[in-house]
Amino acid sequence: MKKILIVLLMIFVAIPAYAIDAIQLLKEIDRNLNPESYELYRKLINIEPDGRKKEYVLFTAKKDKDKVAALFISPASDKGRSTLRLGDNMWLYIPNVGKPVRITSLQSVVGGIFNNSDIMQLDYSDEYDVEKFEDLKDQYLLYLKAKTKAVAYDRVNLWADKNTKTPVKIECQTEAGMLIKTLYFKEIKDFGDGIVRPSVIETDSPLYKGYKSIIIIAGIKKRTFSDEVFTLTFMPKMETLR
């Protein structure tokens, strides 16, 4: 018994206090950004350098830590398409094409700067470890490192507001530290049922100069779904959830 206590004490001492606090903070940021299981309506806008825009409206269902499904409501040319994410695995269903096809996290079913991982986002605390933590004047800064190579970004720097504990800015980087894109979280809104979070997410990228993509959250609420919703056979039936 004494030996066990000594080992446990050594493990505890080896973990910096800030790391424990930062891990808990990241989980809190995740929950403030999204409930663990929810339904979500959002508009996604891609803006090209010449000012042209393309807009999509999506309905999204999420369950637990690793199940996300989304349905395209508009434009008419994409209506009825659906996507499914189970952990690191993703699929796209297109009506009248046949069975769902595999897609990757770095591809984009909507074009623009947001990729499939951004659109079907899991909790940051599930995909990343906290490597370093800074307590700034009005914000927290968390340096995150991907837990596996399957994650879209090797490194993420996340600035969070101290009052709301929601993201303000996120920089997505390669393992070498090259900036891929920056996400800006704006316009905090009370969606009810304790959900107070940014309603607008904008992104730009040095890899796509002059382009911008925006997500506008129209509504989000806690909701439970059956496991059947997150299966390949249910993808053509996503409309029945609305």
DSSP string, 116-156: HHHHT---HHHHEEEEEEEE-SSEEEEEEEESSTTSS-SEE
pLDDT digits (tens, 9 = 90+) for 105-159: 999 999 999 999 999 999 999 999 999 999 999 999 999 999 999 899 999 999 9
Torsion of the alpha carbons at 111, 113, 116 and 117, rounded to the nearest 10? 180
What burial letters (b/e) apply to 212-240, b meaning 16+ CB within 10 Å?
bbbbbbeebeeeebeeebbeeebbeebee
Element (H, E) at 17: helix 17-33
Task: Count Cβ atoms within 10 A of the Cβ of residue 148 and give its class: 0-12 exposed, 13-18 middle, 19 or more buried.
Answer: exposed
Taking CA atoms, 199 is separated from 20, 26, 118, 156, 219, in Å, by 29, 19, 15, 21, 9
Residue 3 is predicted with a pLDDT of 54
Distance CA 238, CA 71 (A): 6
Q: Are 141 and 171 in contact (CB under 8 A)?
A: no
Q: Is the overall model pTM greater than 0.85, yes or no?
A: yes
Higher-pLDDT residue of 65, 170: 170
pLDDT digits (tens, 9 = 90+) for 77-109: 999 999 999 999 999 999 988 799 999 999 999
Residue 54: CB partners within 8 Å, gap ≥ 6? 45, 46, 75, 111, 112
Domain boundaries, the chain: 19-241
Residue 72: pLDDT band with limits 50, 70, 90? very high
CATH homologous superfamily of 19-241: Lipoprotein localisation LolA/LolB/LppX (2.50.20.10)
